[in-house]
C-alpha cells in the first residue's frame, strides 16, 4: 500500500507543521481556539519569529458537525477579547486532516475517543486535550527551571562555567521547523507521565448557554493556547 505523504514533506515543498483544534460542532470551542491562536500568532509570535509564517499552519474541525452557523455568542466573546472573527463554514473532521496534523488539540476526552474509534489508523500519540497539553508544558517548564537552578549551584568554578558557556555558543542550532518538531516529540514523550494529568481535563461546551459561560470558556482557551505557544514557538 502506498504510504500517504504528509503535506509539507513532499519533494520540493517547504516543511509545514500543522496544528488543528477539535471540538464537537466546530462552532464554539474549536472556532474560538482557532481565532485566538491566529490572533496570537499575528500579534505576538510572528513578530518574534517571522519565519513561523512559512512553517506553521493552524485550523479547526468538529467530530460531529450539525450546524453551518456560528452562534452569536461565539462572535460576542471574540469581540469582548478584541480577537478578529474568522470566517468559514464549520468543517467535519476527516482522514486528511488527521493524517496531515502534527498535533490534534481536542477540547474534551470524548473527542479523542471519537477520533480513535471512527478513524482507522489515527495516531493516538498526536492527540492531546487542550488542558492536558497546557499542563504538560507547565510541568516541562518547572522541570527546566529546577534543572537550571541545580546546574548553577553545582558550578562553582568560573573557568568551568565559562567553558560551558562557550560550548553552548558553538553548538549548531536546529532550524525553526526542526526545533518545533523536537518540542512536539518531547510533549508526546512526556504525556504518559501520571504527574502531568490535570484533575479537570475537559473544556465545557458553551453551546446554547449564556455569554458569561462563553467568556469563561474563552479565557481558559486563551490562557492554555498562550502557555502552549510560549513553549512550542519560543
The rounded distance, in Å, linking the Cα atoms of 229 and 234 is 7
The candidate with the shortest Cα–Cα distance to 143, out of 151, 153, 155, is 151
Q: Which residues contact 211 (CB under 8 A, 6 or more apart)?
A: 73, 76, 77
Per-residue pLDDT at 209 exceeds 80: yes
Mean pLDDT of the chain: 85
Q: Which of 10-19, 52-61, 150-159 holds the top average pLDDT?
A: 52-61
Q: What is the pLDDT of residues 97-132, one digit of tens each?
A: 999 999 999 999 999 999 999 999 999 999 999 999
pLDDT at 147: 55
Predicted pLDDT at 199: 79
Q: What is the mean pLDDT of residues 35-43?
A: 98
Confidence band for 87, pLDDT divided at 50, 70 and 90: confident
Does the pLDDT at position 10 exceed 60?
Answer: no
Distances (CA, A) of 125 to 11, 164, 178, 233: 26, 35, 18, 20
CA torsion 92-93-94-96 (nearest 10°) is: 120
Domains (range + CATH), the chain: 17-232 (3.40.50.2300)
CA 58 – CA 97 distance, rounded (Å): 11
Amino acid at each position: 500500500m502506498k504510504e500517504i505523504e504528509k503535506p509539507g514533506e513532499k519533494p520540493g515543498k517547504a516543511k509545514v507543521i500543522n496544528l488543528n483544534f477539535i471540538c464537537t460542532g466546530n462552532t464554539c470551542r474549536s472556532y474560538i481556539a482557532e481565532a485566538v491562536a491566529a490572533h496570537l500568532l499575528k500579534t505576538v509570535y510572528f513578530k518574534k519569529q517571522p519565519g513561523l509564517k512559512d512553517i506553521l499552519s493552524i485550523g479547526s474541525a468538529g467530530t460531529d458537525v450539525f450546524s453551518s452557523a456560528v452562534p452569536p455568542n461565539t462572535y460576542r466573546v471574540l469581540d469582548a477579547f478584541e480577537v478578529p472573527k474568522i470566517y468559514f463554514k464549520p468543517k467535519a473532521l476527516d482522514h486528511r486532516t488527521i493524517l496531515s496534523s502534527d498535533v490534534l488539540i481536542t477540547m474534551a476526552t470524548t473527542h479523542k475517543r471519537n477520533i480513535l474509534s471512527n478513524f482507522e489508523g489515527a495516531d493516538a500519540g498526536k492527540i492531546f486535550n487542550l488542558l492536558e497539553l497546557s499542563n504538560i508544558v507547565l510541568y516541562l517548564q518547572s522541570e527546566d527551571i529546577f534543572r537550571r537552578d541545580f546546574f548553577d549551584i553545582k558550578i562553582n568554578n568560573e573557568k568551568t562555567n565559562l567553558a560551558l558557556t562557550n560550548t553552548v555558543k558553538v553548538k549548531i542550532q536546529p532550524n525553526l521547523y526542526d526545533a518545533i518538531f523536537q518540542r512536539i516529540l518531547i510533549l508526546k514523550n512526556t504525556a504518559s507521565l501520571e504527574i502531568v494529568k490535570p484533575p479537570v481535563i475537559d473544556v465545557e461546551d458553551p453551546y446554547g448557554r449564556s455569554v458569561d459561560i462563553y467568556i469563561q470558556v474563552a479565557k481558559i482557551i486563551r490562557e492554555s493556547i498562550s502557555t502552549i505557544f510560549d513553549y512550542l514557538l519560543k
